[in-house]
Amino acid sequence: MRVLLLGSTGYLGGHTAERLRALAGVRLFVGGRSPSADVPFDLAAGPGELADALHAAAPSVVINCAGLVAGSPVRLVDANARGPAALCEALREAAPDARLVHLGSAAEYGPGAPGQPVTEDAATSPLGLYGATKLAGTLAVTGSGLDAVVLRVFNPVGPGAPAAGLPGRLAAELRAGGDGCAVKVGDLSAYRDFVDARDVARAVVLAATATGALPPVLNIGSGTATAVRDMAHGLLRASGRRCRLEESGAGSERSAAVSWQCADVSAARSALGWRPDHSLDDSLRDLWQSSAVAVR
């Protein structure tokens, strides 16, 4: 199986690459703008240029883990909406039989109803440009006519979590502050569905290697809503630091507007035989351990 992976330098892409490299029968090609990429591939290019790259790689599967969680409106649209659309157009021309596995986001749903895990057929009502651009990318994929599946990832956590998200930022600040530190955070009262990045990577590989057609969209989460405050204090316990979390900092607008989110993951269990292996405690412990490597 020839697999072209886009976004391998990102958080979820890195875990996916690691899992693919350990899989027998897979020949992995990393696509990207880096000189070290196996296949020069820039999603900001036109469909014709992408089609040329696809002709050269001849993949049986393309996995798109590329995207942006923050940035200017133009960059978010380019990365999350235009890029997937251009990729689909190029695939239709150069590799129409290849499977496409694309990473979407829970932000596409918008606010959830407390106590009601969201299913894939729920209405989408994203708040903010990030969620809107991710939804546009999903629509480009699901409407492409390709053998494609979008994995809507909820809140990834675990080793290597970047500082762009609260778990990674909190780990970095606890590591830098040492015992007795006070870490300012925003309001932690929201509930989120935290899923280990390694479980996300396993879902990606299962979707890439599954035989037969898959549903157009599958939720990838833990299936449990956890108070963000409980996650933060769990990370504090994992660190062993005697620190205080002060909820006096500036919180995110999205957290204030989306107070509760949780995935119904029964469709992924049925279609892929997937369920999360890692508990949140596992994820937080391994995140803390990996943060020591990050500061060396």
Residues with catalytic roles: 130
CA atoms of 191 and 281, how far apart (whole Å) = 16
CA atoms of 31 and 272, how far apart (whole Å) = 25
Burial label for 108, CB within 10 Å (0-12, 13-18, 19+), is buried
Q: Where are the alpha helices (DSSP H) in 22-160?
A: 47-57, 73-77, 83-94, 129-142
Contact criterion met (CB below 8 Å) for 161 and 171: yes
Contact criterion met (CB below 8 Å) for 103 and 204: yes
Nearest alpha-carbon partner for 41 in 66, 21, 72: 66
Contact criterion met (CB below 8 Å) for 104 and 134: yes
Task: Please name the residues in contact with 107: beta carbons below 8 A apart, sequence gap of 6 or more.
Answer: 126, 127, 128, 130, 131, 134, 254
- Residue 59: φ, ψ to 5°: -80, 150
CA atoms of 169 and 17, how far apart (whole Å) = 23
Please name the residue that has the structure tokens 């940035």: 71
CA atoms of 293 and 286, how far apart (whole Å) = 11
